[in-house]
Structure 1
Amino acid sequence: MLLVLDVGNTNITLGIFREEELVASFRMTTKTPRTSDEYGLTICGLLNNRKVDISDIEAVIMASVVPGIMHSLKNSIIKYLGLTPIEVGAGTKTGIKMVTANPKEIGADRVVDAVAAYDIYGGPLIVIDFGTATTYDLISEDGSFLAGITSPGIRICADALWNETAKLPEIEIKKPASILAKETITSMQAGLVYGYIGQTEYIVKKTIEESGIQGIKVIATGGLGKIIAEATDVIQIYDPNLTLKGLRLIYNKCKVK
């Protein structure tokens, strides 16, 4: 079995693959400081809860945008699973050609998403990840990473709305039945969700227009992405496990034959 870890700014998402099948996935918060022992015990507890024998884990691969926790996290894998994890970074074999001005600045999560979308769905495509930040990445037909756009994520926008105002409450982020809101909560939901739908549609259409590339598919992932994907026809496919699948694909590209 293969253990994959997507270390994001808000959550660490873990997945267990048996060959190509994702047999289990779970999350833990990123922002809680942990020692290597705390990480190790938490990961082992999650695995045991899903009836996954730790001895069946043969390899570990991870991608991170949070360098501050990686020392403890990697040591936990070594100490508790007896394995040295592969960390996706500069020099990792991915099959994606980075043709941006500074390829090293592209986050590992974006590279992993690009690998998964390109290998599974083919190019040209736009990959949208609705995470802590929302990223839009343009991948060519030959697998070149051409451009990327970054915007505040939906939850960041929501946090700003209720934390920076005196009287607006914290709300559930969901699409209201109508944009014609009649009271405070649905008016906030309408502004957040319909506003984000508008942002998504404009960025996708502008990216296609300026690139001049025809036949672009749009693939989305990320926690709150389902809300947006279901409300617009510019997104063809919503794949909630895209990043985990990408980590498995990169592992297969890297492992010794």
Structure 2
Amino acid sequence: MDPTVPKATLKVLGLCAALLVLVAAVTVAVAVMVWRSEALGKLQGCRERAANESRELGTRLAELERERARLQRAAAAGAEVGDALRRDIARARGDTRKVNASLASCRERAARLEVNVTALGDELVALRRERAELARGKAALQAELARGEEQARGLRQRLDEVMEQQRALRARGEQCQARQRELEDTLQDYATELDAQRRRTRDRATGRRCPPSRYFLCGWWWDSRGGGHRSSHSS
């Protein structure tokens, strides 16, 4: 065997090994460079995110500060409200005792009112019965009133008739009075004439006398006329 062959093979193997190492080194270098660029990109992204988050955290911190101040003011106001509420609770407890006393009084009044309501209910029933009786009495009174009105109309008609008769009688009375006055005037004239005749007769007494029968007839006629009474008054 040629001793130069193993040497050449060893050289080739060495070259291949060196080439592989070189390729591996290049590959590693490229991989490192790629990883570095990615790492740098990620780092830049992280920095940007960190900056954004930092700004957001600053804004959130400012909001939290404002919220803390608001909560502190609210806590102070809540403390004041709590004090006011405690005072109100104390007053409410005092008022509760008063309300309990008032409630007991109200219950007593409610019991009395219930008794009164029962009594009023009984009175209402009695009043309803009385109202029904009054309604019946009212109906009877209305019927009687209708009959009374009918009778009143009849009496009014009769009164009108009586008044008409009274007016007629008054007119007849006036006519009778007028006739009576005329008769009285006539009788007065007759009495005057007879008085004159009697005076003339007395004046002639010394002369021719009237027979007794004629005197009797003259006296009867005079009395029938009513002149004797008037002549006696006039003489």
Interval of TM-score (by shorter of Structure 1 and Structure 2) = under 0.3
TM-score (norm 2): 0.13
More helix by share: 2
* Bigger Cα Rg: 2
> Highest relative contact order (Cα 8 Å, sep 6+), 1 or 2?
1
Higher-strand-fraction structure = 1
- Normalising by structure 1, we get a TM-score of 0.12
